[in-house]
A and B are shown apart, each in its own frame.
Chain A
């Protein structure tokens, strides 16, 4: 339950960018990947809100549509932004683990 709650508060942008960093995916594949990766269930309204924003910011780009399903790809700018965000998260995570370790001892 606690992990589910933690999952819900995770940054949607990070999740979508992380999913796309493995290669281009269409909407449903992104939702499934995020669900497998973090346990967070994105709805279509949420996902396309994030995708529209990321597309506007130039962090992802749409590819040629395959029927009604259009794949999205992370851009170089998106990859750099994701790297920066993950490094910040890792830094906070390391500090957090270190402090938890101190509390434990």
Chain B
């Protein structure tokens, strides 16, 4: 990349209001500095830093309600939407539980959410009631952390639904001309979930339940159901779910950016973003504890006869911790921005629809 292109790219990182007000001046200063011998690379890096500070603190941003309201809305969306990415991922990561011991496979295949059943060894040819070694002590950390992840997921989901309802309400009460289109956008997540449920039901209903042989010594085949539909939905359903999931995130982000929300809706959205950022941090703590528990129980099993828990995707624990940490930092950062922006709006006692209220 050419160095002048780098300087241009740095200017592109500044918000529109800043570019309108300062870009011409700062370009002139940058050119003067480069002509005087300052490295264009150094100038560009300094401009990038300035763009980050301007985006974070919005110093000098005109006191125009629309600008501050947009900033608040974008911050709320940026603080809450990462959860939509990470929440389901964590549920996938902590699913696919199985039990193993040094003596062989153990039943039941996974533990119930509450209670601890007798663990039974299988495949030893000694009947169904041979007790397996006890669970490793650290497995209780894994179980409790897994439970905490599920509870935090549900609580955050409820908070997100409250935020989604507030966004719907904000669109309903706004006087925007594109209100109908925004309303359609905000319904995309609900439609996506309903479609997933409908397809799952169709798949379940199409699954064969009766098997038998058509000839006396022939192979066992399905006597009812629609195998073709089950197979096709096995491919289509994950694609629909993933596309719907990403589409939901994009649609909510667009709606949140464009709706001309009233201060009361912004205040609620700000609270939702702060709560979601906090719950996401709790989710990270629980997930870290879950992974540490897995490592500890493996060590305990290496030094004694214990049954341990294992999960299909536990090998991805560290990359997911890194990804989740970045998400938590981003979410907390944007929740802070939403809080600060809301404070500016509240301190100036602006009302919805007003433009230049502060001179």
Interface residues of A in 42-80 (CB under 8 A from B): 43-49, 51-53, 55-56, 65, 67-70
Interface secondary structure of A, over-half rule: helix
Chain B residues with a Cβ under 8 A of chain A: 10, 18, 22, 24-30, 32-33, 38, 42-43, 45-51, 53-54, 59-60
Q: In the complex, which of the residues B10, B30, B46, B49 has the most CB atoms of chain A within 10 Å of its own CB atom?
A: B46
Which A residues are CB-close (under 8 A) to B48? 45
Q: B22's contact among A41, A46, A52, A56, by CB below 8 Å, is which?
A: A52
Given known contacts A44-B30, A44-B46, A52-B59, is B53 in contact with A68 (CB within 8 Å)?
A: no
Instruction: Flag if A68 contacts B50 (CB, 8 Å).
Output: no
CA distance A51 to B59 in the complex (A): 9
Cα distance, A41 to B38, chains bound together (Å) = 10
Which chain B residue lies CB-closest to A57? B59
Most chain B beta carbons < 10 A, residue from A27, A44, A56: A44
Asked whether B43 lies within 8 Å of A43 as measured between CB atoms, the reply is yes
If the complex has contacts A45-B49, A46-B50, are A27 and B43 also in contact, measured as CB distance less than 8 A? no
How far, in angstroms, from A80 to B275 measured CA to CA in the complex?
42
Which size class do A's interface residues fall under?
Answer: 20 to 34
A28 to B27 alpha-carbon distance, docked (Å): 11
Which of B25, B46, B50, B59 has a CB less than 8 Å from the CB of A70? B25
Q: How far is the CA of A47 from the CA of B42 in the complex (A)?
A: 14
**Interfacial residues, chain A to chain B (CB-CB below 8 A):** 26-28, 31, 41, 43-49, 51-53, 55-56, 65, 67-70
Q: Out of A28, A43, A67, name the residue touching B50 (CB < 8 Å).
A: A43
B170 to chain A, nearest CB (A): 29
CB atoms of A44 and B60 under 8 A apart = no
CB closest chain-A residue, reference B25? A70
Q: Other CB < 8 Å A-B pairs besides A45-B49, A53-B59, 10 of them?
A: A26-B25, A43-B49, A44-B26, A44-B30, A45-B26, A45-B46, A46-B46, A68-B25, A68-B27, A68-B28
Which residues does chain B contribute within 8 Å of A69, judged by CB atoms?
25, 28-29
